[in-house]
A and B are shown apart, each in its own frame.
Chain A
Amino acid sequence: MRKIIHCDADCFFAAVEIRDDPRLQGRAIAVGGNPDRRGVLSTCNYEARRYGIHSAMPAAHALRLCPDLIILPHRMDVYRDVSQAMRQIFYDYSERVEPLSLDEAFIDVSESEQCRGSATLIAQDIRARVRKDLGISVSAGVAPNKFLAKIASDWQKPDGLTVITPAQVSEFVARLPVRKIHGVGKAMAARLGELGVTTCGDLQHYSIFELSERFGAMGRRLHQLCRGEDDRPVNASRRRKSLSVEKTWSEDLQGLESCLAGLPRLLEKLFARLEDLDDDYRVVKLFVKIKFADFTQTTLERAGKHIRISAFRELCAEAYARQGGAVRLLGLGVRFVDLREDRAYYQLPLFGD
């Protein structure tokens, strides 16, 4: 059974604006287009939503609904930075992060060991850290698949956390309105309504043959989703510059020999993590990180293409010699050259399409 978290920042652009200008707190604000130039809104906060304003609404229309609405221009660079920082937090819990947009991502934490492997605790952790470090709120959904995780994150928005455990899935979907299914819009809901179907529970009475006959490929998908089944994987697309593993010992390591003795286990973990990466990375450097008992930290790296225990032993010995004494944390890692990033050349096509 997989554990998927869907994180969705609450009215992201607006939240960043309020964070950076607390005077906006409590007022109806929106971010988006210029009302004089037929612009549309990208985001608005909950205060604005009370007036019936929503994203993608023409700014001029929104101003008629709420003349006091404050419309701010986009500051894309800032949003991108916040989004990046948010992703970095996600990456602390799993390699498998699939960003859907600047403010939304799936995180597959099935293999994660943080928070004793509890997806619920990880989601709480993520929400707390984003609030503390970035000053915005994130809603999260935890479920066995992407479909349910996304619905769950929306369930108690804003600033909510909803968990659907495997045991709760069938009860949850039985009451779930079909309109909540991504891809079921007005028209599809109306057609389903004619059949007397308003909840996923109603939909479960129809066989896959009936549904695919009526709705084609979407019918097959409906047959799965109304049972809370969804096997789409979380597609991580991250490109990285380095990869490292580290471990904090519960009792400080005393002396170089015990540090060296800790390397094989770490190297094993490093190899396991490397296996998840694609073939377009080339290892160019190896490095070792040591944090001593007094929390001073040192990192030593060296050019190298081959990941060998002997190379890490040498680095570890040299780094240790810089200070010596008890060690609380040991880390090893590699730095990459990403072949995909090197797009100095672009192959021209023979047959211009």
Chain B
Amino acid sequence: MKFVASREALLKPLQLVAGVVERRQTLPVLSNVLIQLDGDQLSLTGTDLEVEIVGRLQLEAAGDSGEITVPAKKLVDICRSLPEGSDIEFSLDEQRALIRSGRSRFTLSTLPASDFPSVEDSPGDLRIECAQQEIKRLIDRTAFAMAQQDVRYYLNGMLWEVRQGQVRSVATDGHRMAMCTRDVNVDCAEKVQAILPRKGVLELSRLMSEGEDQVVIVLSPNHIRVTTDDYTFTSKLVDGKFPDYERVLPRGGDKVIMGPRTELKQAFSRTSILSNEKYRGVRLLLADGQLTIVANNPEQEEAQEEVTVDYTGPELEVGFNVSYLLDVTNVIAHENIKITLSDANSSALLEEPESSDSLYVVMPMRL
């Protein structure tokens, strides 16, 4: 096995593929990346047995075909630290991989390609075709709300709900929720739900570009497979029942506030400095035309911010985890933000003022 690739062509897919490789591994081959060459078609594969990414690239010239696995992190570090514009020659010498570039030379350990596990895929019947930017938006608009290490393991992931011509993503950590709905080309008579694991969601987002490039997604009962020209992403789905998110969408909030997003974001960010570092609580005091944000910490320090907003109605005092409010003001793009409240114990609805594809629900903190 032998080939030459330019550093730049090799590095990007290599980094994305190596992204799924876990640092600490029980199975040695899982810290390796699988390299397969067929003529001028090079493919790189990384896996953690739950998520698998295959990156493909076409070489300028055909090499000697073959396959082998080498330590992923070391290969990335070597390729990255070589000078820009270098050509990298990869070859096999007995049980060792030899990497040469200019006057640099590295010998890496290998494990046979036959030891490398592949994520078992099951045949899927639900097929979605759309621009990559649709998938990217579904993820980027909601991923921040996923739980991290919750015992309710199904919250450590993202729900994808597919209907006729529509895909919806929902993420929640049990305290706040994010939801995004996009129209896409999919034929799906009955609603289908799938929970993507947290890690898969984050890796998939990195593979999707902002543009019109197409992507094909196939959902099977236990797996999702996402294919683009350059990558194939396969992930196991989380086996579990996602909570009934529609039940917690607030209805009947009678206090509608329209406020400048950037100003609110900055006010939240400044008050957060003096909120309790652990619980992050702030008090929102709503009055005609004005929202006052107050934070106190255990050291008895206090921050107060006043923001002019569009609101008329009864006064209300309600507490929130300021991080949750910041997350929403960060992800929303519009210059204004619409906040709908009802009382101090009911959830808040945050969204862009008009025709938005996303909405955010945040439960208050009791004061």
Contact = CB atoms under 8 A, between A and B. Distances in A.
Interface of A: 280, 282, 284, 337-351
B361 A350 contact: yes
A345 B363 contact: no
B277 interface: yes
Given A348-B364, A351-B248, 9 more contacts: A282-B298, A337-B299, A339-B279, A344-B279, A345-B279, A345-B367, A346-B365, A348-B365, A349-B174
Nearest to A351: B243
A344 B278 contact: no
Contacts of A347: 175, 279, 321, 363, 365
Contacts of A348: 175, 345, 363-366
**8 interchain residue pairs of minimum CB distance:** A345-B281, A345-B365, A339-B278, A337-B298, A342-B298, A346-B366, A348-B363, A350-B363
B47 interface: no
Contact of A280 (B177, B278, B281, B345): B278
Interface residues of B, number: 27
B345 A344 contact: no
Given A345-B365, A350-B363, A339 B281 contact: no
A342 B298 CA distance: 6
A340 B279 CA distance: 9
Contact of B298 (A341, A346, A350, A351): A341
A287 to B, nearest CB: 16
Interface string B257-297: 00000000000000000001111010000000000000011
Interface in B136-160: none
Contact of A349 (B175, B277, B279, B367): B175
Nearest to B275: A345
A337 B297 CA distance: 10
Contacts of A340: 278
Contacts of A343: 279
A218 B365 CA distance: 42
Given A337-B298, A349-B363, A342 B175 contact: no
Given A284-B299, A337-B298, A337-B299, A345 B174 contact: no
Contacts of A342: 276, 278-279, 297-298
B172 interface: yes
A349 B361 CA distance: 11
B325 to A, nearest CB: 13
A339 B276 contact: yes
B268 to A, nearest CB: 15
A284 B301 CA distance: 12
Contacts of B363: 347-350
Interface in B298-349: 298-299, 319, 321, 345, 347
Interface string B211-231: 000000000000000000000
A350 B319 contact: no
A347 B347 CA distance: 11
Contacts of A280: 278
Nearest to B347: A350
A300 B365 CA distance: 39
Nearest to B345: A348
Contact of A344 (B175, B321, B367): B367
A340 B321 CA distance: 15
Nearest to B362: A350
Contact of A345 (B247, B345, B347, B366): B366
A337 B296 CA distance: 13
Contacts of A350: 172, 174-177, 248, 347, 361, 363
A200 B367 CA distance: 55
Contacts of A345: 276, 279, 281, 319, 321, 365-367
A342 B296 CA distance: 10
Given A282-B277, A344-B281, A344-B367, A351 B174 contact: yes
Nearest to A305: B299
A351 B361 CA distance: 12
Contacts of B281: 344-345
A338 B174 CA distance: 26
A19 B223 CA distance: 70
28 contacts: A280-B278, A282-B277, A282-B298, A338-B298, A339-B279, A339-B298, A341-B298, A342-B276, A342-B278, A342-B279, A342-B297, A342-B298, A344-B281, A344-B296, A345-B365, A346-B365, A346-B366, A347-B321, A347-B365, A348-B175, A348-B366, A349-B174, A350-B174, A350-B177, A350-B248, A351-B243, A351-B247, A351-B248
